Structure 1
Amino acid sequence: MSTKVDAAVDSLSQRIGARVRIEREGRGWSLTDLAAHSGVSRAMVHKLERGESSPTATLLARLSGAFGLSMSQLIARAEAKEGRLLRRADQPVWTDPQTRYVRTHVSPPSDLPLDLVQVVLPAGARVPMPAAAYTAKRQLIWVLAGSLVFMEGDTRHAMDAGDCLELGPPADCVFSNETAADCTYAVVLLHSN
């Protein structure tokens, strides 16, 4: 069973890498251009595009920010099925190979200027996100279960189940689970046009 899961993860990593290449080439950027825009090394971008490396959440946030996309949009473009109804079994799921955080793109692809994402952040996990990941986007974080500490620049937000936070202007952020139990939260991303 593990081999089937590993194959699905590898397949998604390959599709994400291919999507990064499509996004880069669609902008007329070289590997060096994308490296300069994202702060990710040219060698790492090359490995990712060739499917030789599984991307971390931080790396995907930097790349998607360089493209002016949310991480959710980038993953959805690599994985999501068409249609107005996106069944649970068809929702793109991505696991960060570094922290084991699980991100599920819940909303179907549409012309609506929003994405809905569910995240399960394991006990003790810490996921930094650069400010570039939030450019031209507004976000709400709604804690569904457990506790989340969200660092927005220098501001610490300790949140429990039911709490909802609107993010301020783009800043480097860190999602942390300082407890011994998983935390589940939803992120609503509103895209500016």
Structure 2
Amino acid sequence: MDEPEAVFEKSVGERLQALRHAQGLTLDELAARSGVSRAMISRVERAEASPTAALLARLCEALGLSLSAFFADEEQPASPLSRHGEQRLWRDPHSGYLRRSVSPPGMPSRVDLVEVEFPPGARVAFPPRAESRVMTQHVWLFEGELQMTIGETVHRLAPGDCLFMDLGDAFEFHNPGERPARYAVILDRGR
């Protein structure tokens, strides 16, 4: 692992631990809420494991946060302007997808904007989560191909297509193409 990745994994672990402590949760309580093992949470907090997108989403949900809120830089002063060079990036270690938090952090909005670059052949699946039924999202494809499976329904998106979905359902992202897919996720936390 190179130096920037190690530093980033350490910051993810520290952030997870700080959020867990702020809510007064033990490892066992967060494990029960998220369905992620206590051992895995501990490994992430100690920067011994890099969480996948699906695992991190489950932890964030159990903490009552979106991924964007998890990655928000709390030390950065709140501003209605989010500069491209200051937006937080995260790469899923399993699929290789690159996630950019576009929304200005600290704003009183239920909506988060995220830009994703999804590698060719990549696949990420999210299990159904009743706790997420209050959240919805739009997936708006800019470049490449994207196949979205929600339950038993498969949607093939081409550039310019936009899919609305409930986050409580099981769903899967898949790039069947030979080029990266680039898309925006517009998440409404509904709270």
What is the TM-score of this pair, normalised by structure 1?
Answer: 0.90
CA contact (8 A) 1:62 1:130 kept: no
Task: Find the aligned partners of 1:79 and 1:101 in 2 and give their Cα distance.
Answer: 26
- Give 1:119 deviation, angstroms: 0.5
Task: Find the aligned partners of 1:46 and 1:68 in 2 and give their Cα distance.
Answer: 19
Please list every run of at least 4 consecutive aligned residues from structure 1 whose deviation after the TM superposition is greater than 4 angstroms: 77-81
CA contact (8 A) 1:145 1:161 kept: yes
State the number of aligned residues. Answer: 189
Question: What's the counterpart of residue 99 of structure 2?
Answer: 103
CA contact (8 A) 1:80 1:90 kept: no
| 1:26-175 mapped onto 2 (5 Å cutoff) | 26-77=22-73, 82-109=78-105, 110-132=107-129, 134-168=132-166, 170-175=168-173
SS of alignment partner, residue 28 of structure 1: coil
More helix by share: 1
Task: Find the aligned partners of 1:157 and 1:81 in 2 and give their Cα distance.
Answer: 40
In the superposition, relative to structure 1, how do residues 169 and 41 fare at CA in structure 2: closer, same or farther (>3 Å)?
A: closer
SS of alignment partner, residue 21 of structure 1: helix
Could you give the per-residue CA deviations for residues 141-193 of structure 1, whole angstroms, max 9, x where no partner exists? Answer: 10010110011122111101000111036111110001111100100011222
Task: Find the aligned partners of 2:60 and 2:96 in 1 and give their Cα distance.
Answer: 20
| 1:166-185 mapped onto 2 (5 Å cutoff) | 166-168=164-166, 170-185=168-183
Could you give the per-residue CA deviations for residues 54-77 of structure 1, whole angstroms, max 9, x where no partner exists? Answer: 111111011011112222221225
Unmatched segments (≥5 aa) in structure 2 = none
Root mean square deviation, CA, Å: 1.9
Task: Find the aligned partners of 2:77 and 2:47 in 1 and give their Cα distance.
Answer: 21
- Give 1:24 deviation, angstroms: 1.4
Task: Find the aligned partners of 2:75 and 2:35 in 1 and give their Cα distance.
Answer: 25
Task: Find the aligned partners of 2:134 and 2:19 in 1 and give their Cα distance.
Answer: 17
Task: Find the aligned partners of 2:45 and 2:22 in 1 and give their Cα distance.
Answer: 14
Task: Find the aligned partners of 1:160 and 1:81 in 2 and give their Cα distance.
Answer: 38
Question: What's the counterpart of residue 11 of structure 1?
Answer: 7
- Give 1:136 deviation, angstroms: 2.4
Unmatched segments (≥5 aa) in structure 1 = none
What is the TM-score of this pair, normalised by structure 2?
Answer: 0.91
SS of alignment partner, residue 85 of structure 1: coil
CA contact (8 A) 2:68 2:112 kept: yes
SS of alignment partner, residue 72 of structure 1: helix
**AA of the residue aligned to 1:181:** R
